[in-house]
Amino acid sequence: MKLTEQRIANLVKPRVSVAYVYDTVTPSLAVRVGSTGGRSFVVVKKINGHTQRITLGRYPGLRLDDARQAARTIAGEIAKGNDPVALRKAARARKTKLSDLWPSYLSHLKQRNRTWRRDKQRWETEVSPALGKKALAEISRTDCQGLIDRIGADRPIAANRVAAFLSALLNFAVRSDRLAVNPAKGLMRFQETSRSRILKSDELENLISSIETEGEPWASVFLMLLFTGARRGSVLGMRWEDIDLGAANWTIPAQVAKNKTATPIPLTTPAVKLLQQRLDHSAGEPWVFPSPVGSRHLIGLTKAWMRVLRRAGIQDLRIHDLRRSVGTALARAGASPHIIATGLGHRSIASARTYVRLAGEDARQALNDAVASLTARGSNNA
């Protein structure tokens, strides 16, 4: 179709999500019509063997004559062997600082990543001071590797996490057409040894006594971590609508589960007792552990956990070590890998979903036995 201003104005919303109407005067030029009826000029050309669609601007802000001229200029650059897409990204990369990219990436993180606060801290303490003021085009692989090496001199595991974060951040720049190549892709990382810390038998009594001394809701959160072996984020985000106390089951919804799959967790006897006590005083709250401020669930545990450890006289014990301790207790009790996977909510071991159903009661019994062995020395809640 020979495009005219009137014909473009008369284009209607397509039945499909997007439609392209090509211009016979300038064959590489097309009008893209979106599902809402919005219209944009695009150049459609093959570059290095791949079809590329280069957006020129929205109609009617960009007029037809100007769009044709821009399309001819781009076609001429391609004929010379240049890549207008890469050139455009390079121009944007020269203008955009890494700190300019951060707000949009943080918004992206909040929508997709439950651990965005950790990434925010990595940005503020590690990446921004080193690279935040640099233009994207100026950030080299040497800059990225140098940052990771400096962190890794004292904190190798932290360096690996920053490397993953930095690579994801710069991948976002590539996907949003601000950067052509990610300089942090494939950085050399430090060897990691899997953490093996678990609760020692002589630590249990002091730990449980210290937990029971801690105020609410912290004490109940820590006991629930022990009684279920669940992840910290899952326990903090427990909702009453996901819990069936009668059947002693808790289902972690897919949208918040680490493995992105609805995950059934069998509840042990002490876990059910604790939940019943909290339900009796819930006052209609949707969260099992509501935040004292605002309408969300509880978030921070670090300060309360440090208080617990100081009173108990325990060093180098992380909250996640409670989960590992429950898993170890299950293994010591002779539970099979499938039972352990079901009890702890792992997707794991290539087991089919039917194993979760079949192993449910066995997993509950195994968890009860494991929790009893862990808490026998000090808890009045078990």
- CATH number assigned to the domain comprising residue 142: 1.10.150
pLDDT at residue 349, rounded to an integer: 38
Cα–Cα distance between 297 and 109 in angstroms, integer?
A: 19
* pLDDT(194) > 80: no
333 lies in a domain?
yes
381 lies in a domain?
no
Q: Which domain holds residue 166?
A: 95-175
Is the domain of 161 the same as that of 249?
A: no
Is the domain of 208 the same as that of 313?
A: yes
* pLDDT(102) > 90: yes
Is the domain of 321 the same as that of 248?
A: yes
* pLDDT(341) > 70: no
pLDDT in tens, 135-187: 998 999 999 999 999 999 999 999 999 999 999 999 999 898 888 889 999 99
- Looking up tokens 């050399």 gives 188
Q: pLDDT confidence of 359, banded at 50, 70, 90?
A: very low
Mention every residue, 6+ apart, whose C-beta is less than 8 A from residue 82: none
- Higher pLDDT, residue 14 or 210: 210
Is the domain of 26 the same as that of 145?
A: no
Q: CATH code at 247?
A: 1.10.443.10
Q: CATH code at 29?
A: 3.30.160.390
Q: pLDDT confidence of 338, banded at 50, 70, 90?
A: low
Q: Locate 29 and state its tokens.
A: 């030029």
Is the domain of 154 the same as that of 252?
A: no
243 lies in a domain?
yes
363 lies in a domain?
yes
DSSP 239: B
50 lies in a domain?
yes
Q: pLDDT confidence of 344, banded at 50, 70, 90?
A: low
Query: How many domains does one find in the chain?
Result: 3
194 lies in a domain?
no
Return phi, psi of residue 59, to 5°. -95, 140
Is the domain of 27 the same as that of 105?
A: no
Residues above pLDDT 90, as percent of the chain: 40
Which among 36, 52, 82 is the end of a domain? Answer: 82
189 lies in a domain?
no
pLDDT at residue 329, rounded to an integer: 73
pLDDT at residue 311, rounded to an integer: 94
pLDDT at residue 351, rounded to an integer: 32
Is the domain of 76 the same as that of 99?
A: no
pLDDT in tens, 63-84: 999 999 988 988 888 888 887 7
160 lies in a domain?
yes
pTM (two decimals): 0.55
Q: HSE of 11 in the Cβ direction (CA atoms, 13 Å)?
A: 29
CB-neighbour burial class of residue 370 (10 A; exposed 0-12, middle 13-18, buried 19+): buried
* pLDDT(113) > 90: no
pLDDT in tens, 195-218: 678 878 788 888 989 999 998 899
pLDDT in tens, 257-312: 776 778 888 888 889 999 999 998 887 889 999 988 777 888 888 899 999 999 99
